[in-house]
Amino acid sequence: MADYLIEEQLPSNGRLSGVPSKVTLKAISTKEEKLLYGSSNDNAFDRVLNACIVEPQGFKVNTLTTPDKFALLLKLRIHTYGPEYWITTRCPVCGKTEDTCLNLDEIPVTLLGEDFSEDIEIDLPVSGDKLI
């Protein structure tokens, strides 16, 4: 395993209120693995992210967007186990199987641009009021 701590850029790129542009992660430990493999509820990924985000201190993942969470989980997987991810695929026609290695480092992450704004204006069709 590489360095114990890594700093990662979030796809939201600090453009959302209350969400930093970067976080510092620690590698997944046995404790977090048990959360993933032994949990039947939907918040196991959030619990793992809460345990692995060390900076900013006290940061709660419920403020993150789904793309931010996905990117961080992907980076945690790469940081802890490496970028190679082996899968077996099966041809639906002939049934032949093939092992394929995916390089998780090659999955592109798009950052929110400088032109992004959280402010949205909506004109209500009946009243004509404008929501901001």
Give DSSP secondary structure letters for the chain: ---SEEEEE-TTTT-STT--SEEEEE---HHHHHHHHH--STTHHHHHHHHHEEESTT--GGGS-HHHHHHHHHHHHHHHH-SEEEEEEE-TTT--EEEEEEEGGGS--PPPPTT--S---EE-TTT--EE-
d(CA 111, CA 45): 22
Q: Where are the domains of the chain?
A: 5-131
Q: What is the pTM of this model?
A: 0.78
In Å, how far are 14, 61, 67, 103, 112 from 117, measured between CA atoms?
11, 21, 17, 33, 10
Q: Tens place of pLDDT for every residue, the chain, 132 residues?
A: 445 898 999 999 888 878 889 999 999 988 888 888 877 677 889 999 999 999 998 888 888 989 999 999 999 999 999 999 999 999 999 999 999 999 999 999 988 888 777 667 888 889 888 887
Place of tokens 């002939």: 94
